[in-house]
Structure 1
Amino acid sequence: MTLVAKVKESESVKTREDEMLTRENTGLIVVDIQGKLAGLVQDSARLIVNTTLLIKGVKALNLPILWLEQNPEKLGGTVPEIASALSPNRPIPKYTFDACGAEAFIQAVQESNITKWLVCGIEAHICVYQTVLSLLELGHEVELVCDCVSSRTTFNKELAIAKLTSKGAGMTGLEMCLYELVADCRAAEFKEILRLIK
């Protein structure tokens, strides 16, 4: 191996700390779980339960949350269970499928000083896909919480996940990300996280 190749290899190696979600570097983005559409996506009941638990876990860990609603005047508000879990946060309305087209969202992302975003919501192949792609292009790290995203068809959910992971997004799950964030069974928040996902 040449010296140049060795240097390039060492530059590309990330430490475990670089790879892990931490409370200092992680936030949550909740995308458009609204109105009738929320009931039409695949396994909608499970999506709503899992997302509610994810939000409660993230709040217990005191992480920032950005809450999005697509064209709420036409599509309706966020489903009550999730809206209640998100309170007292307020939704950011958007009209472009890509949330990065909304100035208020971009401003909230910049002000958060967060480098890694967990993303959940619907639809995986439209608003989630376009928003995650733009966040990646802006230099953020993104992990899809795969049991907290959905589309009207399984094919479209799987397509979105496959395409986003090929472009650099990571994958995680509800339990995986919360345990990664709490990190230590002696942490004050551990019992609350355990109670939520037991």
Structure 2
Amino acid sequence: MQEMPRITLKPTQSALIVIDVQPVLMPSIHQGDVLTERIRFLARIARLLEVPVFATEQNPSRMGSTVDAICELVADPAPFSKMAFSGGGCAPFMDALKASGRGQVVLVGVETHICVSQTAQGLLDAGYEVVVCPDGVSARSLERHKLGMERIRDAGVVPAHTEAVAYEWLGTAEHPRFREALSIVKQHP
């Protein structure tokens, strides 16, 4: 197990990546509705604080596009189509991330033990600081989710709750967008 890096998330340095939150997958995901709300919460905060929100879609011709509740919060360009299980295996996605100039990546989506884990490790290998939100990722079973989080953490990825990420991006209650952010927090308990 690697020593945990210390990451202080900054909205000017971060990007939020939503991995494969697609209609065919979500009904079989453990607490899929709750997960969608946590992802929507963090994406709303990201948009408020001008953190780019990117999304990947696994084989969208078969699995469908990103669910509407999330897709409306994704930055241009539209979600990136991929066949690889790692978002890092999607060249257009990596090009857009690099072009954003952001060195910190916060990951949410499905499935923890497959695409989230492989994307996190690929981003680490590419030199990014990576945070995964355990309440913002899931799998078809709680056991798969837990095993995925163990592997992610053992790889040196930092876990952080979606609300912790939001407050870290804000930094202070004196942030000019704090009241708007607090309203979003209250809408997504």
TM-score, normalised by the number of residues in structure 1 = 0.88
Match of 1:51 in 2: 39
Q: In the TM superposition, what are the counterparts of 1:85-100 in structure 2 within 5 Å?
A: 85-86=73-74, 89-100=77-88
How far has the Cα of 1:138 moved from its partner? Answer: 1.2
How far has the Cα of 1:24 moved from its partner? Answer: 2.1
Match of 2:52 in 1: 64
- Please, what is the CA RMSD of the aligned residues? 1.6
- SS of residue paired to 2:134: strand
Q: Which moved more, 1:100-109 or 1:168-177?
A: 100-109
Match of 1:118 in 2: 106
Aligned partners of 2:75, 2:121: CA distance in 1, in Å? 27
Aligned partners of 2:116, 2:183: CA distance in 1, in Å? 29
Aligned partners of 1:71, 1:49: CA distance in 2, in Å? 23
Match of 2:165 in 1: 177
Match of 2:153 in 1: 165
Does the Cα contact within 8 Å between 2:52 and 2:75 map onto a contact in 1? no
- SS of residue paired to 2:71: helix
In structure 1, stretches of 5+ residues that fail to align are 1-11
How far has the Cα of 1:36 moved from its partner? Answer: 2.1
Does the Cα contact within 8 Å between 2:19 and 2:57 map onto a contact in 1? yes
1:81 equivalent in alignment to 2:69: yes
How far has the Cα of 1:121 moved from its partner? Answer: 0.3
Q: Note the alpha carbon deviations across 1:58-78, whole angstroms, 9 max, x for none.
A: 000001122111100001111
Does the Cα contact within 8 Å between 1:33 and 1:122 map onto a contact in 2? yes
Does the Cα contact within 8 Å between 2:133 and 2:161 map onto a contact in 1? yes
* Amino acid aligned to 2:12: E
In structure 2, stretches of 5+ residues that fail to align are none
Does the Cα contact within 8 Å between 1:118 and 1:142 map onto a contact in 2? yes
Identical-residue share of aligned pairs (%): 28
Match of 1:4 in 2: none
Aligned partners of 1:155, 1:65: CA distance in 2, in Å? 28
Structure with max Cα Rg:
1
Aligned partners of 2:69, 2:34: CA distance in 1, in Å? 12
* Amino acid aligned to 1:167: A
Aligned partners of 1:37, 1:188: CA distance in 2, in Å? 38
How far has the Cα of 1:89 moved from its partner? Answer: 4.7
Which has the bigger relative contact order, CA under 8 A and spacing at least 6?
2
How far has the Cα of 1:123 moved from its partner? Answer: 0.7
How far has the Cα of 1:137 moved from its partner? Answer: 1.1
TM-score, normalised by the number of residues in structure 2 = 0.92
Q: Note the alpha carbon deviations across 1:76-106, whole angstroms, 9 max, x for none.
A: 1111211123265511111111111111011
Does the Cα contact within 8 Å between 1:67 and 1:89 map onto a contact in 2? no
Aligned partners of 1:85, 1:27: CA distance in 2, in Å? 13
